[in-house]
Amino acid sequence: MNRKNLYENLEQVKKYCPNVFAMVKANAYGHGVKNVCKLLYGKVDFFGVACLEEALEIRKFDKRSNILIVGICKDIFLAI
């Protein structure tokens, strides 16, 4: 993954849409969810994942970012 390209692409998107979320499902599409989330921490409004398990993986290293689960959440109480 090219960090420079990631930041440039994010800045281009923010020109048209100030509120941005980063979809990092499937291990950030193979780029490593932890690495990508750390690079984008504070630069996006929230992270998007497919399931609760992916959200919990992010919570292990990031206690503050908002996370949107776009798939079916089988344990809403755990998600909260």
Task: Flag whether pLDDT at 18 surpasses 90.
Answer: no
**Cα distances (Å, whole numbers) of residue 60 to 10, 18, 35, 51, 63:** 25, 27, 13, 15, 7
CB 33 within 8 A of CB 59: no
pTM: 0.88
Pair type for strands 66-69 and 21-23: unpaired
Averaged pLDDT of the chain: 95
Task: Flag whether pLDDT at 4 surpasses 90.
Answer: yes
Please give the order of strands across the beta sheet that includes 66-69: 21-23, 46-49, 66-69
Mean per-residue pLDDT for 53-68? 97
